[in-house]
Amino acid sequence: MVEQTYKETAKTVCYNVANKVLPMDQLPDGLKEAYEGMFEELIADKAQAFSLAWGKLPASAQKLMSQAEFHGFYIANAWMQLSRVAQEIADSNDTEEEMNDKEYDGVFGRLAEQSLKECLRKLKKARTDRVMLNSFKKVMAK
């Protein structure tokens, strides 16, 4: 079970990051619900992908931000990647049959895993790259 303060910190960071790209208060209700569902799934971390990855980070990377802040950053990143893929699918104008033929099964899991790897790489790089660290802080701020 995720502590309430951890969850609130992660959600605040997540919204701050997402708001830089997608104004959260302007999203249609269906998208807000999808986003909330994804947030709940990724914050719960039932497969422990996030917590195991965080635990393997060097201490110098963990010191750059709290685990809750990084969790929120990762969730926002995953959500934006999923939104981009969803838009590509919508723009493709494929028929339902063509869409069923394509490999969309498991796309959420693959995107979440890819997003986590990308965020971990960026956090590790931020240890020696002041510009990247500053951009992390800027995008995570309100």
Domain of 49: which CATH number?
A: 1.10.3440.10
The predicted pLDDT at position 99 comes to: 54
Burial (CB < 10 A; 0-12, 13-18, 19+), residue 36, is exposed
The predicted pLDDT at position 61 comes to: 96
The predicted pLDDT at position 134 comes to: 94
Split into its structural domains, the chain has a count of 1
Range of the domain at 129: 4-140
The predicted pLDDT at position 100 comes to: 55
Cβ within 8 Å of residue 62, ≥6 positions away: 54
Ranges of residues in the chain whose predicted pLDDT is under 70:
1, 93-105
